[in-house]
């Protein structure tokens, strides 16, 4: 690790947002992380969410986008996915916290009597809990970048803003800086960018004791120097610390664009780090070269349920893009609602696609359509990647149409309806081994706490497509599911050409299935998309896209 002179503790950058939500705070934080890495520093990115859910695990993907899962089994905000994709640093349980979790901890302590009968208050008890969270791993990296969800002025955000103010105050001077993202709206009628909302948002921050060091201003139009100077003057920041942030052709342009705009320099200046180490941006230049110099395109159908909200399958969309970059092609992913195939023949919808992906999901709705998509891919020799529920559906399809289990299904759907309709080829597992210990589920477990979550090892059969794609026979991938393919059907299904080519080390849990003799048909019980990076595309996605390209050339 590279140590800043005299540094024993991390420097903290607190990232907040104002004016409107969805300004891209997560992306700005991730890009800044990448830029600090490019200068040789170690970073850790963290997210503090003011909502009251304990974690996003039980939130609908429609509501909050995808749930990102870490190696250590935390169900977190999708911003942690951005962080990982930009820095390559694996996110951890302690990289994300919500107000719900903080309050839960405080209330548990209160019940245990830890506060010795004191009156429990937001200040200091809640803010102390937030500060303790921030201090985790303080001596591990050069920079901790902590993003506060929501916008300044939100009621539930107040304890977080108060906590970061106190935290900075308690550290030696120059250890913490504040970076605030705002929007400069453009008034077409007068042809002007307006700075007033930014001024107001900074005023709001200052009212609670936080003076931003850096302002990142999102704008759809170029920001004239005159306006930059005005923002600097009225918001009490240096003109070079007013960083313009324009719309980008790809999120992966963000590190280079923010570097050109002077963000990393402004951050190092704010910390007084001089001379600053020179950045090596080769990784991001290569990423952009691959993105902008793609030769041709392939079409991938993603047959899923949460197709209405782009963020619901964020990591899958990104992993497909990475797969395209590995092959120097553009991947055009088209989202198709699986329910359509329950009413209509999938063939006319799926013909013309070079590959089919069925992603993860929960609940029965749309599953018969996903089974039809898997059948189409298997019979027509179209590359198929089934992820989690997408693997389970591929197994059910094979059980029904190849192994003669006409009513094969998943216990998940019977549980949902409260009646027995299917032969459970996919069933609810009650115990399993993680590392050296046994994990058990009890029927009354809370909804969020019953899943197989986080990193698990799988052994791959030598000679399988899976082993060939990974280039190894032992892998570790992230899980998030309750149900498992039942190995009691293994012999019957393998007799029909469905190879259980990846298994848990104890041989009890199927992790990967593939169709023998098919150009490319792989189902995985885990979520490979969570580990893909633009500079290190996941091998499954890279090879899936390669197969799509190959198929496209054959036609
Ligand atoms: N609903 C399925 C299960 O719980 C699949 C979950 C998923 O696709 N992430 O096993």
Does residue 69 line the site of ligand 1, with CB under 6 A?
A: no
**Order of all β-strands in the sheet with 498-503:** 330-337, 297-304, 355-358, 384-387, 521-524, 510-515, 498-503, 452-460, 474-481
Does residue 452 line the site of ligand 1, with CB under 6 A?
A: no
Centre of ligand 1 from the C-alpha of residue 360, in Å: 6
**Ramachandran category for residue 416: left, alpha or beta (phi over 0 → left; psi -120 to 50 → alpha):** alpha
User: Do 130 and 161 contact (CB within 8 A), yes or no?
Assistant: no
For ligand 1, what atom is nearest to the CA of residue 363? 1
Predicted confidence at residue 430, as pLDDT, reads 77
Residue 141: which CATH number?
Answer: 3.40.50.300
pLDDT digits (tens, 9 = 90+) for 60-75: 766 777 889 999 998 8
For residue 436, pLDDT over 90 is answered with: no
d(CA 253, CA 212): 25
d(CA 359, CA 61): 13
Predicted confidence at residue 468, as pLDDT, reads 97
Is residue 282 located within the same domain as residue 299?
A: no
70 three-state secondary structure:
coil
For residue 7, pLDDT over 90 is answered with: no
Does residue 304 line the site of ligand 1, with CB under 6 A?
A: no
Centre of ligand 1 from the C-alpha of residue 471, in Å: 27
Is residue 231 located within the same domain as residue 307?
A: no
Question: Is 318 one of the annotated active-site residues of the chain?
Answer: no
For ligand 1, what atom is nearest to the CA of residue 388? 8
Predicted confidence at residue 133, as pLDDT, reads 96
DSSP state of 155: G
Q: Checking DSSP bridges between strand 192-193 and strand 68-69, what pairing results, if any?
A: unpaired
Centre of ligand 1 from the C-alpha of residue 362, in Å: 5
For ligand 1, what atom is nearest to the CA of residue 527? 9
Quick one: how far is CA 161 from the chain centroid? Answer: 24
d(CA 96, CA 439): 24
Bridge partner list, 495: none
Is residue 239 located within the same domain as residue 304?
A: no
Hey, whose CA ends up nearest to atom 5 of ligand 1?
A: 389
d(CA 37, CA 40): 5
Task: Provide φ and ψ at 546, rounded to 5°.
Answer: -60, -45
Residue 2 domain flag: no
Does residue 46 line the site of ligand 1, with CB under 6 A?
A: no
Lowest mean pLDDT among 18-22, 305-309, 465-469: 305-309
Q: Which of 482, 511, 530 to mutate to test the pocket of ligand 1 (most atoms within 8 A of CB)?
A: 482
Residue 1 domain flag: no
Range of the domain at 426: 295-554
Bridge partner list, 180: 16, 215
d(CA 529, CA 527): 5
Centre of ligand 1 from the C-alpha of residue 482, in Å: 6
Above pLDDT 90, what percent of the chain?
81
Q: Which of 69, 483, 527 to mutate to test the pocket of ligand 1 (most atoms within 8 A of CB)?
A: 483
Q: Can you read off the two tokens belonging to residue 168?
A: 């900075």
For residue 555, pLDDT over 90 is answered with: no
Q: Give the residue from 233, 253, 287 where a domain finishes.
A: 287
Helices 314-327 & 539-554 angle (0-180, nearest 10): 60
Mean pLDDT for 432-441 is: 73
Centre of ligand 1 from the C-alpha of residue 262, in Å: 43
Predicted confidence at residue 1, as pLDDT, reads 47
Mention every residue, 6+ apart, whose C-beta is less than 8 A from residue 105: 129
Which candidate, 207, 216, 225, places its Cα nearest to that of 177?
216
Does residue 75 line the site of ligand 1, with CB under 6 A?
A: no
Q: Is the peptide bond before 306 cis (omega within 30 degrees of 0)?
A: no
**Ramachandran category for residue 463: left, alpha or beta (phi over 0 → left; psi -120 to 50 → alpha):** left
Is residue 105 located within the same domain as residue 235?
A: yes
Is residue 62 located within the same domain as residue 207?
A: yes
Predicted confidence at residue 341, as pLDDT, reads 94
For residue 162, pLDDT over 80 is answered with: yes
Predicted confidence at residue 3, as pLDDT, reads 52
Lowest mean pLDDT among 133-137, 214-218, 415-419: 415-419
Mean pLDDT for 161-169 is: 97
Is residue 381 located within the same domain as residue 248?
A: no
Kindly indicate the confidence band of residue 175, based on its pLDDT and cuts at 50, 70 and 90.
very high
Max CA pair span of the chain: 75
Does residue 366 line the site of ligand 1, with CB under 6 A?
A: no
Mention every residue, 6+ apart, whose C-beta is less than 8 A from residue 436: none
Kindly indicate the confidence band of residue 445, based on its pLDDT and cuts at 50, 70 and 90.
low
Is residue 259 located within the same domain as residue 349?
A: no
Q: Give the residue from 287, 317, 346 where a domain finishes.
A: 287
Q: Give the residue from 270, 287, 304 where a domain finishes.
A: 287
pLDDT digits (tens, 9 = 90+) for 39-54: 999 999 999 999 998 8
The mean pLDDT value of the chain amounts to 92
Centre of ligand 1 from the C-alpha of residue 359, in Å: 10
Q: Compare 548 and 312 and report the one with higher pLDDT.
A: 548
* Residue whose pair of structure tokens reads 């991730």 in the numeric block: 30
Backbone Cα Rg of the chain: 25
Is residue 267 located within the same domain as residue 346?
A: no
For ligand 1, what atom is nearest to the CA of residue 483? 10
User: Do 12 and 163 contact (CB within 8 A), yes or no?
Assistant: no
Is residue 118 located within the same domain as residue 247?
A: yes
Does residue 92 line the site of ligand 1, with CB under 6 A?
A: no
Residue 433 domain flag: yes
Q: Which of 125, 518, 527, 538 does the annotation list as catalytic?
A: 527
Question: Is 146 one of the annotated active-site residues of the chain?
Answer: no
Q: Which of 147, 180, 388, 511 does the annotation list as catalytic?
A: 388
For the whole model, what pTM was predicted? 0.91
Does residue 412 line the site of ligand 1, with CB under 6 A?
A: yes
Centre of ligand 1 from the C-alpha of residue 299, in Å: 25
SS (H, E, C) 272-332: CCCCCCCCCCHHHHHHHHHHHCCCCEEEEEEEECCCCCHHHHHHHHHHHHHHHHHHCCEEE
Mean pLDDT for 123-139 is: 95
User: Do 214 and 180 contact (CB within 8 A), yes or no?
Assistant: yes
User: Do 453 and 480 contact (CB within 8 A), yes or no?
Assistant: yes
Predicted confidence at residue 312, as pLDDT, reads 83
Task: Provide φ and ψ at 481, rounded to 5°.
Answer: -160, 165
Count of the separate structural domains present in the chain: 2
Question: Is 235 one of the annotated active-site residues of the chain?
Answer: no
Mean pLDDT for 169-175 is: 93
For ligand 1, what atom is nearest to the CA of residue 362? 1
For residue 85, pLDDT over 80 is answered with: yes
Residue 399: which CATH number?
Answer: 3.40.50.880
Q: Which of 409, 412, 424 to mutate to test the pocket of ligand 1 (most atoms within 8 A of CB)?
A: 412
Lowest mean pLDDT among 86-90, 401-405, 413-417, 533-537: 413-417
Predicted confidence at residue 264, as pLDDT, reads 97
Q: Is 134 exposed, middle or buried (0-12, 13-18, 19+ CB in 10 A)?
A: buried
Is residue 89 located within the same domain as residue 180?
A: yes
* Residue whose pair of structure tokens reads 């570097």 in the numeric block: 259
Does residue 362 line the site of ligand 1, with CB under 6 A?
A: yes
Residue 345 domain flag: yes
Is residue 326 located within the same domain as residue 215?
A: no
For residue 437, pLDDT over 90 is answered with: no
Residue 4 domain flag: no
pLDDT digits (tens, 9 = 90+) for 233-265: 999 999 999 999 999 999 999 999 999 999 999
Q: Can you read off the two tokens belonging to residue 436?
A: 């050296």
Torsion angle (degrees, nearest 10) of CA 338, 339, 340, 342: 110
Hey, whose CA ends up nearest to atom 7 of ligand 1?
A: 360
Q: Can you read off the two tokens belonging to residue 325?
A: 């970059």
User: Do 63 and 112 contact (CB within 8 A), yes or no?
Assistant: no
Residue 3 domain flag: no
29 three-state secondary structure:
helix
Residue 366 domain flag: yes
Residue 5 domain flag: no
Is residue 100 located within the same domain as residue 227?
A: yes
């Amino acid at each position: 690790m590279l140590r800043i002179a005299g540094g024993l503790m991390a420097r903290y950058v607190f990232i907040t947002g104002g004016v409107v939500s969805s300004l891209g705070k997560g992306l700005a934080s991730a890009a800044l992380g990448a830029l600090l890495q490019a200068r040789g520093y170690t970073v850790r990115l963290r997210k503090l969410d003011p909502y009251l859910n304990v974690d996003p695990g039980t939130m609908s993907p429609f509501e909050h986008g995808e749930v990102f899962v870490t190696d250590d089994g935390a169900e977190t905000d999708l911003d942690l996915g951005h962080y990982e994709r930009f820095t390559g640093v694996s996110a951890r349980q302690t990289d994300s916290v919500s107000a719900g979790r903080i309050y839960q901890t405080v209330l548990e302590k209160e019940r245990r009597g830890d506060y010795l009968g004191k009156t429990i208050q937001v200040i200091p008890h809640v803010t102390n809990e937030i500060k303790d969270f921030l201090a985790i791993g303080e001596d591990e990296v050069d920079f901790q970048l902590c993003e506060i969800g929501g916008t300044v002025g939100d009621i539930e955000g107040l304890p977080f803003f108060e906590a970061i103010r106190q935290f900075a105050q308690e550290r030696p001077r120059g250890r913490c800086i504040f970076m605030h993202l705002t929007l400069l709206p453009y008034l077409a009628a007068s042809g002007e960018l307006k700075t007033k909302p930014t001024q107001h948002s900074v005023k709001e921050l200052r009212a609670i004791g936080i003076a931003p060091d850096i302002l990142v201003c999102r704008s759809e139009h170029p920001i004239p120097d005159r306006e930059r100077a005005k923002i600097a003057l009225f918001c009490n920041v240096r003109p070079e610390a007013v960083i313009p942030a324009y719309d980008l052709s790809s999120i992966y342009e963000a590190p280079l664009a923010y570097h050109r705009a002077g963000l990393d320099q402004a951050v190092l200046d704010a910390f007084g780090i001089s001379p600053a180490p020179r950045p090596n941006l080769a990784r991001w230049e290569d990423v952009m070269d691959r993105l902008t110099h793609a030769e041709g395109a392939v079409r991938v159908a993603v047959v899923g349920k949460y197709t209405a909200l782009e963020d619901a399958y964020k990591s899958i969309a990104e992993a497909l893009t990475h797969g395209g970059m590995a092959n120097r092609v553009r991947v055009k992913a088209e989202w198709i609602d699986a329910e359509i195939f329950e009413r209509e023949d999938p063939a006319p919808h799926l013909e013309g696609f070079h590959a089919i992906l069925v992603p993860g999901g929960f609940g029965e709705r749309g599953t018969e359509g996903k089974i039809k998509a898997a059948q189409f891919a298997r019979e027509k020799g179209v590359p198929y990647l089934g992820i989690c529920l997408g693997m389970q559906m591929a197994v059910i399809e094979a059980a029904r149409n190849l192994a003669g289990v006409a009513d094969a299904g998943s216990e998940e759907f019977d549980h949902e309806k409260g009646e027995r309709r299917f032969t459970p080829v996919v069933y609810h597992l009650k115990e399993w081994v993680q590392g050296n210990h046994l994990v058990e589920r009890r029927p009354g477990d809370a909804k969020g706490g019953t899943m197989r979550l986080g990193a698990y090892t799988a052994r791959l059969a030598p000679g399988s497509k899976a082993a060939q794609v990974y280039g190894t026979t032992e892998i570790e991938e992230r899980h998030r599911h309750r149900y498992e393919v039942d190995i009691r059907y293994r012999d019957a299904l393998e007799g029909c050409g469905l190879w259980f080519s990846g298994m848990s080390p104890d041989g009890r849990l199927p992790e990967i299935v593939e169709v023998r003799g098919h150009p490319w048909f792989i189902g995985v019980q885990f979520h490979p998309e969570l580990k893909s990076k633009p500079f290190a595309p996941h091998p499954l996605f890279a090879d899936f896209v390669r197969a799509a390209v190959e198929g496209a050339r054959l036609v």
